[in-house]
A and B are shown apart, each in its own frame.
Chain A
Amino acid sequence: MATVELRFSALPEHVRTARLVAAAVARRAGVDESVLDEVRLAVGEACTRAVYLHRSSGVDRPVRVVLVEDEKKFSIEVGDEVPDTGSSSTGAEGGTPSEEAEEEGQMGLAVISGLVDDVEVTSGEAGGTIRMSWPTTTAAVLP
């Protein structure tokens, strides 16, 4: 099991870097070329959501991306450090930028669910995690 871990400050400009790294590691792990676009998009969405959560909650710790190359699958875990309080932020009136950003965050999850068959979204006191995985080419050809 080989692992690449990336930590980046919650800044929008670093999301592209995370996409590029994830796509490069996925390609190396044997994820089919036709699926790499999906990997790129899904990891970008997950990182965008984490960046938004960190920034809107004033968390200055980095966003964590773990890329794991297994025998049969390639997994990505994107973790934020924003505790789940059980309620969304309040005080935003209709159409405010923060509400728009939140809507975009929800759309991001919709994109991930639409793209990735194996996806798990969890949240707890230590923060939230989005786990996604794709079969690697060697696994796909097995009966």
Chain B
Amino acid sequence: MDPSLSTRTVGDRTIVEVGGEIDVYTAPKLREQLVELVNDGSYHLVVDMEGVDFLDSTGLGVLVGGLKRVRAHEGSLRLVCNQERILKIFRITGLTKVFPIHTSVDEAVAATD
């Protein structure tokens, strides 16, 4: 089952809308998308995870990899997520301290630090 991925630009931010299940099989597609964006010069990413049904550690690894890549260009990677079951995975791995997590795309786009 493929994840759905779409991108759009708001100012200097690139919004990546992710949907479906992100696991060991589908995470490489998200990784490719993030790598491609950074290679094309998009260094301020907002990953909208409101449409994500399932996320495992492979997905977390891809997001951490994305964060490393944008930081190498002094960029940022912000997440949008309100789903408790997804947020729980970020909490138990301590990644809530690593990623800025927002409740809406608007809030993520407006954030500066």
Partner-B contacts on A (CB < 8 A): 12-13, 15-16, 19, 37, 40-41, 44-45, 48, 51-52, 100, 103-104, 107-108, 110-111, 114-115
* Of the residues B1, B25, B61, contact of A104 by C-beta under 8 Å: B61
Minimum C-beta distance from B61 to chain A (A):
4
Chain A residues in 8 Å Cβ range of B60: 104, 107
| B25 touches which of A13, A45, A107 (Cβ 8 Å) | A13
In the complex, the answer to whether B23 meets A15 with C-beta atoms within 8 Å is yes
- Interface, chain B (partner A; CB < 8 A): 1, 21, 23-25, 54, 56-58, 60-61, 65, 85, 89, 92-93
What residues of A have a CB within 8 angstroms of the CB of B61 in the complex? 100, 103-104, 107
Give, as a whole number of angstroms, the nearest-CB distance from A80 to chain B: 14
A-B contacts counted at CB < 8 A amount to: 56
A-B contact pairs, 22 of them (CB 8 A): A12-B25, A15-B24, A15-B25, A16-B21, A41-B54, A44-B23, A44-B24, A45-B57, A48-B24, A48-B57, A100-B65, A107-B57, A107-B61, A108-B57, A110-B57, A110-B92, A111-B56, A111-B57, A111-B89, A111-B93, A114-B92, A115-B92
Point out the residue from B25, B65, B89 that lies within 8 Å of A41, measured CB to CB: B89
| Closest B residue by C-beta to A51 | B24
Contacts of A52 in B (CB 8 A): 24
Chain A: minimal CB distance from B25 (Å): 4
Contacts of A19 in B (CB 8 A): 23, 54
Contact A40 B57 (CB under 8 A): no
Contact between chains at A37 and B85 (CB < 8 Å)? yes
